[in-house]
Amino acid sequence: MKHIFPLAMQEKNNLTSLNLNNSMQSIVWFNGPSVKQFYNIPPQECEIGCNFILDHRKVHHVCCYDKPTMDIIDKKEKAKEVTYWTRKIFAKEGQWNIIKHIDPHFKQIKDMNLHAKRLKQLLRLPNHCSGTLALIVAYMLGAEKLYLLGCDWTITNASVYDEQYKWRRFQPIKHNAEKIALITKLSDLMELTIVHTNHKRPFGPKVKWITPAEFAEGHNINMAQE
C-alpha cells in the first residue's frame, strides 16, 4: 500500500506543485542544521526521518536509536499513520519495530532473496545511529532512488534537536569510518543523492551530490519558507 499524505498537508506547504511519483521517490531526513531549508518542500511518496522529525515535518517512518529519545517520543501521542523503527534491544511489539523482515513498499524489487541477503549485510555493519537506521529502512522498503537531506557529517556535529537531548553532555561525533562505509555500500545498491552545498566529503565515488538550488530547480520547488 502506498503512503499518501493528506491533501490538507499538501495545501499547507503552499509550494509549487510537483509530480510526487516522478524522480524524487524517497527522502531520508537527517537533522543537521542544513535541513531547515527543506521542511516546506512538497510531500513525497515515502519519507523517513529521525528522532523528533515530526516536530517539523510529517513523514511515514521515524527511526530512533537511543533509548532516552524513544522515552520522550513515547510520552507523546504517536501518529497512527507513522511506522516507528529502532534497534532490536529496544523493540516494543506494536510500537517500535526492528528492521528484520522485508517490507517492499516499492514494487520494483525483482529478487527478494538477494534483497534480503543485502539487508542482512547492511545490518551487520557496526556503529549505527538513527540516521543510518533510516537509510537502511529506505533500502528495506525497496527504494531505488533516494535523496538525503540535512546530512552535515564532517562539517558539524550540531543537530536541530540538541536542546531536546538533555542527557548529553556534549555533541557526539556524527560520522565515523563505519557509517561512511555504510553510505558507500548503499550507493552501490541504490541511486543515493545528497543535497548539500559542500560536496567535498569522502562518501564514495557513486554518491551523487547536488546543491539545494539544483534540487529546487530540478524539481520545480519554491524553497521560500513560510
Q: Mind listing the pLDDT tens digit for each residue in 80-102?
A: 899 999 988 899 888 998 876 55
124: part of which helix (H) or strand (E)?
Answer: helix 112-124
- Quote the pLDDT of residue 102: 57
42-56, 64-78, 98-112, 189-203: the lowest-pLDDT one: 98-112
152: part of which helix (H) or strand (E)?
Answer: none
Average pLDDT estimate for 122-142? 85
Residues sharing a CB contact under 8 Å with residue 150, sequence separation 6 or more, in sequence order: 29, 30, 31, 32, 33, 34, 35, 38, 160
- Quote the pLDDT of residue 140: 86
**Which of 52-61, 83-92, 112-121 is the most confident on average?**
52-61
DSSP at 96: B
Alpha helices in 125-176 (DSSP H): 130-140
- Quote the pLDDT of residue 121: 78
Gap between the Cα atoms of 218 and 122, Å rounded:
30
CATH of domain 7-218: 3.90.1480
- Quote the pLDDT of residue 7: 30
Q: What is the mean pLDDT of the chain?
A: 82
Asked if pLDDT for residue 14 goes beyond 70, the answer is: no
Q: How confident is residue 5, by pLDDT bands cut at 50, 70 and 90?
A: very low
